[in-house]
Every structure is written in structure tokens, then in C-alpha cells.
Amino acid sequence: MGLRWPFRRLSAKPADDGRAESGLKRAHFKDWRLPFWLLAPQLFVLLLFFFIPSIRALIQAFQLTDPFGATTQWVGFQNFERLFRSGVYWSSVQVTVLFTIAQNVLTLSTALLLAFATNHILRGRGAYRTVLLLPYAIAPAIAGIMLAFLFNPRVGPVAHMLQGLGLDWDPNRNSSHALALIVMAASWKHICYNYIFLVAALLSVPHSILESAYLDGAGPIQRFLRISLPMIAPTLFFLIVINFVYGLFETFAIVDATTRGGPAGATSILAYKVYQDGFVTLDLGSSAAQSVVLMALALFLTFAQFRFIERRVNYSV
């Protein structure tokens, strides 16, 4: 027997209520179990690597466990109370806020500048875009190691250039230099991601509107600020939220490969502090409480993106 197509099409007949259906035809599965089989691999991955660890962290946040995991005691909100009274934790919060804001501004502004520039290149546009997308294929840990080598005060070529300009660059001793290093490493890795969305958004701007503005005497900068920028505002807001989530969760490998939270905790962002408390000092309750706070913050940012921010975006020109 030949293979049978798992869908059946419904003819566009008038609905029961007398209203004619639209020109689009619906496709239905003959076997109701097929959609669940198609979703099963992804659901299994989510269950194994997200839901089970999240539930485990949520339970452990209300427990006090000894470093060896032999005894466990239910302590309620004591881990959260101890966490919010900790000066070290609030210092890590300040570092995280500075890091995420600086990384967001540097990433988004650079990606927007590159997208605007390559969008006006007539020859070799595809080659430029390919080169700009290459860093996205590099693992965060590798990106951190590369930047750590380039800015190494002893052997790094970029560090030697900065020292030649009179800047005593040393991220191993200077907290500001260390924070700047992880900001540059995280931004360099994530510029490509922002660039993809911004190029697509700029290409979606109607060319007829840009031509009309050109005929009215508007220059490239005016056309960008008055036409393109307002029309790509939804993409910009989306990337702002994504960049904040990226700075909170996906920069652990960069910090671990470059500064390891130093010097003196100057680059110990929240994601790295969760690791330090859980796997170095073995304070499992505090580590779980911090992960719950981060998870709640990520959910809040996602909710803000889909419920509040996009409703206030002006799509008109």
C-alpha cells in the first residue's frame, strides 16, 4: 500500500451559521494521536531540562540542606529572607544591572549601526552579512576566552595598544576594566543575533515611503530617524527584552571563562553567583532561592514584552 497523507482538506462550504468561510482551507489530522507524537520529543526535552529542574529548585528554595546533601530541613521563606538581607547579594544585583544595561546599549546600538550600514551597501551586501553573522556560531565560553586573550595585560595585542595610549589596562586588578571586558565579550557574541532581526526589520520598511521622503529632500539620516526607526520599533522593543534575558541567564560561560566573578566580586553577576553559592560554597538553599528569583524576573520580562510593551508601540509613520 502506498503512503497516505495524514491530513484531509475540508472544502470551503458555508458554515452552519450561514456565514461563508474564508478562502483559506483548514487541514485536520485524521489520527488525533499524530500531533502528540510530533510534539513528544520537544515536550520531553522541556520536561527533562526545564520543568523538572525548575520544580526541584522551587522546592529546594524552601529547604535547608547540609553541604553533603545528607539532611534536609523545611525552613519556609528563611532562605529568601537571608538572601535579601545579604549585602553580597545586593552588590551582585548592582553588578548585574550595570552589566545588562551596558551590554544592551552596546549590543543594540552596534547592531543597529551595522544593519543600517549594510542595508545601504549595493555591492557585496551578502558577503558583509555573512561575515557579521559568523560570531553567532561561536560558543560563549570560546568568545570569552578569545576576548580574555586579546585584552590580557601581558600578552594581549589590544591591551598593549591601550597601554600604549596611556591606559593602564588590567582587568585582573581593576574592577571597572573587568566589567568592561565581560560587557564587550557578551556584546560581541550577541550583536549578530540583534543584527539578524534588525536587517529583516529594515528590509520590511516599504520602499515607496523611503522614495517619497527622498523626493521630498530627506537625507539618509532623516529617513532613518523619521521613517525606518519608528517602523522597526516593535523589533527594537523585542530585542531589548531578549537582551536583558540574555544578560541575566546566558552570560555565565563568558564570566567563567574571563574573570570568574573577580576581582573581589566585581563581575559576579546573578547567574554566576547562583553557581558559586551552589557548587563552590555548597549553600544549596541560597542558590535555589536565587534561581527562583531569576526565573520570576525572566517571566516578568516576558510578560511585559507580550502584554504591555507592544501595545504602546506606534506603528504609524
Task: Answer whether residue 80 is part of any domain.
Answer: no
Window from 30-44, 124-138, 302-316 with minimum mean pLDDT: 302-316
Average pLDDT for 135-159: 91
Task: Answer whether residue 197 is part of any domain.
Answer: yes
pTM flag (> 0.85): no
Say yes or no to pLDDT of 314 above 80. Answer: no
pLDDT recorded at residue 10: 42
Task: Answer whether residue 108 is part of any domain.
Answer: yes
pLDDT recorded at residue 101: 95
Three-state secondary structure call for residue 28: strand
Count of domains observed in the chain: 1
Task: Answer whether residue 42 is part of any domain.
Answer: no
Q: Which one-letter DSSP state was computed for residue 154? A: T
The whole domain housing 143 covers 86-312
Say yes or no to pLDDT of 20 above 60. Answer: no
Say yes or no to pLDDT of 285 above 60. Answer: yes
Task: Answer whether residue 308 is part of any domain.
Answer: yes
Average pLDDT, the chain: 84
The percentage of the chain sitting over the pLDDT mark of 70, rounded to a whole number, equals 86
Task: Answer whether residue 4 is part of any domain.
Answer: no
Window from 118-122, 154-158, 209-213, 220-224 with minimum mean pLDDT: 118-122
Specify the DSSP element, H or E, that contains 11.
none
The percentage of the chain sitting over the pLDDT mark of 90, rounded to a whole number, equals 44
CATH number at residue 126: 1.10.3720.10
Say yes or no to pLDDT of 87 above 90. Answer: yes
Q: What pLDDT, in 10s, does the model give residues 209-250?
A: 888 888 888 888 888 888 888 899 889 988 998 898 898 888
Q: Environment class of residue 73 by beta-carbon count within 10 Å: exposed (0-12), middle (13-18) or buried (19+)?
A: exposed
pLDDT recorded at residue 32: 77
pLDDT recorded at residue 223: 87
Three-state secondary structure call for residue 40: helix
Q: What pLDDT, in 10s, does the model give residues 24-36?
A: 566 666 777 888 8
pLDDT recorded at residue 112: 93
Average pLDDT for 290-299: 90
Q: What pLDDT, in 10s, does the model give residues 172-199?
A: 999 999 999 999 999 998 999 999 999 9
Task: Answer whether residue 111 is part of any domain.
Answer: yes
Task: Answer whether residue 243 is part of any domain.
Answer: yes
Average pLDDT for 262-266: 89
pLDDT recorded at residue 317: 47
pLDDT recorded at residue 91: 95
How far, in Å, CA of 81 to CA of 63, rounded? 13
- Range list of H helices, the chain: 34-46, 52-60, 78-84, 87-119, 125-133, 140-150, 157-164, 175-203, 207-215, 220-223, 229-231, 233-249, 252-258, 270-275, 284-304
